[in-house]
Amino acid sequence: MPFLLQNKPFYINFLAALLLGCIAGLVNLLPVFFLDSSEFLLGQFFVILSLLLLGWRYAIITFIISTGFIFYRWGHAWVIHCFCLRAYIFTIILPV
């Protein structure tokens, strides 16, 4: 567990993960387009932030909530594979 949050009760981290997940989901609902009209999903930033601040257990909660918003918007969540791989690579590069 990260050094800054290791002495906090578990429900504080859980509520922080829920809050970051909702923020990530709402940011994913914003249409931010590239030049070729493909969308840029900025909500992944909050999932990585949750991974770095809270650890992988709470980042999974944030990840599931964020992906739920994408499923709501697009009707599918195929992008979950890319997000999962990206979060896994960050755990290898920056061990928490």
Q: What is the mean pLDDT of each run of 10 residues along the chain (96 residues)?
A: 66 91 91 76 86 86 88 77 74 66
Q: Which pLDDT score is estimated for 19?
A: 95
Is the overall model pTM greater than 0.85, yes or no?
no
Q: Which pLDDT score is estimated for 23?
A: 94
Q: Are 48 and 90 in contact (CB under 8 A)?
A: yes
Neighbours of 6 (CB within 10 A): 9
Q: Which pLDDT score is estimated for 1?
A: 53
